[in-house]
Amino acid sequence: MIDHSHDPSMERELDGNALAGMLETLFGSDMTAVPGRCAHCSTVNMVGAMRAYTGGPGAVLRCPACDGVVLRVVERVDATYVDVRGAAYLRFERR
């Protein structure tokens, strides 16, 4: 197992799977297998494959191709804010 605990930026880098519970609560169904198109570079990745940063005041999902911010979630006492400016789309398949 690789130890990179000396690097504080790596320490907090996870992926969209780490936000799965929070996102499912917000969107009403699993989001990790939902493809999203990055508004910055147009690459399509499933939410589970995006980089997640959870160390700040909110949670941030970044595009694994260009590192652009795709989605931000900030939870406050009275409400949750979801900023999706970095997503050209999220694709929900009909079941």
Binding site for another protein (CB under 8 A): 1-5, 10-18, 20-21, 24-25, 28-30, 32-33, 46-49, 54
Whether residue 53 contacts residue 12, with contact meaning beta carbons closer than 8 Å, is answered with yes
Between 35 and 68, name the residue whose CB sits nearer to another protein: 35
For 36, the 3-state DSSP assignment is strand
Between 18 and 39, name the residue whose CB sits nearer to another protein: 18
> In DSSP terms, which residues pair with 74 in a beta bridge?
81
The distance of closest approach from Cβ of residue 56 to another protein in the complex, given in angstroms and rounded to an integer, is: 14
In 10 A of CB 72, how many CB atoms? 19
